[in-house]
Chain A
Amino acid sequence: MREKTLYGLGALAIALLTHNIWKMLVNLPDEAFQGAIFRIIFFHVPAAFTCFTCFLVSLIAGISYLKTRDLKWDALGVSTTEVGLAFGAANLLTGMIWARIIWGIWWTWDWRLTSMLICWLLYGGYLVLRRAIEEPTERARLSAVMSILSFSVVPFVFFSIKWFRTQHPQPVLYGEGKMDSGYRAMLFGNWVPILMIAIVLVAVRMMQERRQREVDALRRSAHAF
């Protein structure tokens, strides 16, 4: 039953995404200065939002694990981190494609780009750390600590943006930025299916973790005989 709900949610997300892409390509006009490529923002920005939502949930899961010592929090932590990394990669890659067309280069050591890459590497370290620990409770404990430490670097990385002039476009959603209401609606409208996909992926990954634990338990009892 739960799996069917999940697949239903996934199918709904894909239908919404297709609908949005259709609208983006057919209904929305090209942006005045950038031309057709500007549409990548409808994936680039929601991917970043989704990525940081995932890392935030991973932090909460880490703290909850240390409080309750319930391994389901560890499963949530690793699932959200992995999915967050995937959307972080999507954010970086879409950004690079946009940069190649608008700036003419794939990458520049602009602070916004660098800080995102640092975040990505930090959470990548979390996954490498997990690989190196065999014992499940020790793995859960140390990766919860790692998740808390990683998240505390993120504000440093992001607030230092204020002290630089960056090549990355200034924020258009808050502060002084302005965005056409049609574009804005599409940006948030596209965040909905992308977030839904993230939720489905996290749920599937959590089921895998649970089954992994069941298999491990069976293997242990088989060895006991």
Chain B
Amino acid sequence: MLFLRQVLTITAKDLRSELRTKEALNASLAFALVILLLFSFAFDANPEMMREISGGLLWLAFAFAGALILNRSFARELVNDCLDALISSPVPGAALFLGKVLANYVLLLGIEVVCLPIFGVFYNVRWAQQPLWLALVLILATWGVCVVGTIFSALTVNLRLRELMLPMLVYPMLIPCLMAAMMLTTPLLAGQPIEGDLFAWLRLLVGFDIIFTSLAVVLIDTVLIG
């Protein structure tokens, strides 16, 4: 119980400071919209084309937007040595980590929920035909992105060129998760439910989330403290 309260305290702290300054949120949302706009120049957005690539487009935009949020997650604590204060506080490393993951998760899910209808309007996609399945895929894949992204945010926080290192290390690591999300989202946006072979991708997402959440919780003390 205490652990859960510690996690939620960290989440609340992060969300509060983010919602007051909105520095990562605004940048990330604007970036996602710019990417969605840029895609329109890359190809002719006719319905057949969109049926094939809509999932890929969306998740690329989400992954790019996510990197901006994840970059700030631990970098925010560098000013005034807040990170040292957090590490020396009674909160265990795992609670600190999960709290931050949860805060990033809420922010990124928020951005995705805002982007989806805009994407639907811009590219003439009726995205809400399978709302429950789509919600499940967003929930699972965004968790994967946030868990891997947050541990790398902690890993790269003290490095030179931090903003460059994070995406360079995170994206290859996220490929299984992003690929599964893309494969599932494309048929869902076209109105087909998840069935048959597609369940394999859902299993991959669940497996990815479980394995990386446990690995990250085990390794976070090594990353933060030494």
Rounded to whole angstroms, the CA-CA distance of A65 and B212 in the bound complex is 21
A56 at the interface (CB under 8 A from B): no
Check A163 against B222 for contact (C-beta < 8 Å). Answer: no
Are A156 and B208 touching (Cβ within 8 A)? yes
- The proximity string for A residues 122-146 relative to B, scoring 1 for CB distances below 8 Å and 0 otherwise, is 1001001100110001100110111
Which B residues are in CB contact (< 8 Å) with A148?
Answer: 215, 219
Contact partners of B155 in chain A: CB under 8 A: 129, 142, 145-146
Closest A residue to B220 by CB, please name it: A145
Interfacial chain B residues near A144, Cβ < 8 Å: 222
Closest Cβ of chain B: how far from A77's Cβ, in Å?
A: 14
> In the complex, are the beta carbons of A149 and B215 less than 8 A apart?
yes
Judged by a CB distance under 8 angstroms, whether B79 is at the interface is no
Contact between B226 and A122 (Cβ–Cβ < 8 Å)? Answer: no
Question: Is B53 an interface residue when CB atoms closer than 8 A count as contact?
Answer: no
Stretch at the interface among B68-76, B80-88, B172-180: B172-180
Annotate A82-119 by CB proximity to B: 1 below 8 A, 0 otherwise.
Answer: 00000000000000000000000000000000000010
Residues facing A in B181-226 (CB within 8 A) are 197, 200, 204, 207-208, 211-212, 215, 219, 222-223, 226
In angstroms, Cα B162 to Cα A129, docked, is: 10
Bound CA–CA A144/B212 (angstroms): 16
**B208 contacts which chain A residues (CB < 8 A)?**
156
Question: Given the known A-B contacts A132-B160, A142-B223, are A163 and B173 also in contact in the complex, defined by CB atoms under 8 Å?
Answer: no
Q: Within the assembled complex, what's the spacing in Å between the Cα atoms of A85 and B127?
A: 42
Of B155, B156, B208, the most chain A CB neighbours within 10 A belong to B155
Please determine whether B173 and A149 come into contact, CB atoms closer than 8 angstroms: yes
| Chain A count of residues within 8 A CB distance of the other chain | 25
Q: Is the interface of B mostly helix, strand, loop or mixed?
A: helix
Complex interface residues of chain A between 140 and 161 (CB less than 8 A to chain B): 141-142, 144-146, 148-150, 152-153, 156-157, 160
A118 B172 Cβ-Cβ under 8 A: yes
Partner of B169, one of A118, A129, A137, A138: A129
Q: Does A66 contact B (CB under 8 A)?
A: yes
Interface centre among A128, A132, A160, A163 (most CB of B within 10 A): A132
Residues of A within 8 A of B169 (CB): 125, 128-129, 146
Residues B219 and A145 in contact, CB atoms below 8 Å apart: yes
> Which single member of A132, A141, A146, A160 contacts B161 (CB below 8 Å)?
A132
What total of chain B residues lie within 8 Å of the partner, measured CB to CB? 26
Q: Report Cα–Cα, A141/B155, bound state, in Å.
A: 10
Contacts A129-B165, A132-B165, A148-B219 given; indicate if A141 touches B173 (C-beta within 8 A).
no
Interface-centre pick from B165, B172, B219, B222 (highest chain A CB count, 10 A): B172
> Which residues on A sit within 8 Å (CB–CB) of B4?
none
Q: With A132-B165, A148-B215 in contact, do A141 and B172 touch (Cβ < 8 Å)?
A: no
Q: Which residue of A lies closest to B160 (CB)?
A: A132
Known: A66-B222, A152-B211. A121 touches B172 (CB 8 A): yes
- In the complex the two chains form, is B168's CB within 8 Å of A118's CB? no
A148 to B214, CA, bound (A): 13
Assess A128 versus B168: contact at CB under 8 Å? Given A152-B215, A157-B175. yes
Let me know if A160 and B211 touch, CB within 8 A.
Answer: no
Given contact pairs A129-B159, A141-B226, a sample of 16 additional A-B residue pairs in the complex whose CB atoms are under 8 Å apart:
A125-B169, A129-B156, A132-B160, A138-B226, A141-B223, A145-B155, A145-B219, A146-B155, A150-B173, A152-B211, A152-B215, A153-B175, A156-B176, A156-B208, A160-B204, A163-B197
4 closest residue pairs by CB, A with B: A156-B176, A121-B172, A132-B159, A125-B169
Q: What are 28 A-B residue pairs whose CB atoms fall within 8 Å in the complex?
A: A118-B175, A121-B172, A122-B173, A125-B168, A125-B173, A128-B165, A128-B168, A129-B169, A132-B156, A132-B161, A132-B165, A137-B226, A138-B158, A141-B222, A141-B223, A142-B223, A146-B169, A149-B215, A149-B219, A150-B173, A152-B212, A153-B173, A153-B176, A156-B176, A157-B175, A157-B176, A160-B176, A163-B197
